[in-house]
Copies of this chain bind each other. A is one copy, B any other.
Amino acid sequence: MNRIALLLIGVVALTGAITFMTAASGQADEGSSPIYGVKVPANYREWKLIAVDNLLVADKTDQLRAQLGNDIAIKAFEEGKVPFPDGAIIAAVHWTRIRSEDNSNVLAGPFPGAQSFVVGSPVNVQFMVKDSKRYAATGGWGFADFKGGKPGDKALHETCFPCHAPAKDRDYVFTHYAP
């Protein structure tokens, strides 16, 4: 392989490293989470799908949610291995769940009584970034919660790790890979 090809590979590798550094090693500033300094990873919306879920809280909250993973996280999920390796990032994307009148009307033909619920507006996006040294005090994970592109406050981020603690035997990750 000649120099140009090697250079291309180098640029690709470097771009990957920069993307990860942006995500995992940002100093605490306006665009990164308190405590952990996690920024929104580039292109996370184009990561592969881990699973989907639906969260209901009394009459207040009704969300459709998707968990996406970068390639390191997806490989670990597919292999069913814990702990996740350093560099793994999981994104949890949360939307409101709303009834689709269009879909429901169409589906009610072949399926009487059918109701279709789809994604409404974005609620928030959460990230877990694995770096076993940097985040040793919190199970090796750095956490972040963004709403409209802005990170939540320190008090919110203090709740992340205690809430994930019950999933310690799954390396603090609740989500199972959907078949």
Contact = CB atoms under 8 A, between A and B. Distances in A.
A42 to B, nearest CB: 15
A125 B139 CA distance: 36
Interface stretch (A28-36, A46-54, A81-89, A129-137): A46-54
Contact of A53 (B74, B111, B118): B118
A122 interface: yes
Interface of A: 1-2, 4-5, 8, 45-49, 51-58, 61, 64-66, 68, 74, 93, 95, 97, 100, 102-103, 106-107, 109-119, 121-122, 159, 163, 166-167, 174, 176, 178-179
Given A4-B1, A118-B176, A163-B106, A111 B49 contact: no
Nearest to A46: B48
B49 A49 contact: yes
Contacts of A56: 114-115, 117
A119 B68 contact: no
Contacts of A97: 54
Contacts of A49: 45, 48-49, 66, 68
A8 B103 CA distance: 44
A147 to B, nearest CB: 13
A62 to B, nearest CB: 10
Given A2-B1, A46-B74, A106-B174, A51 B119 contact: yes
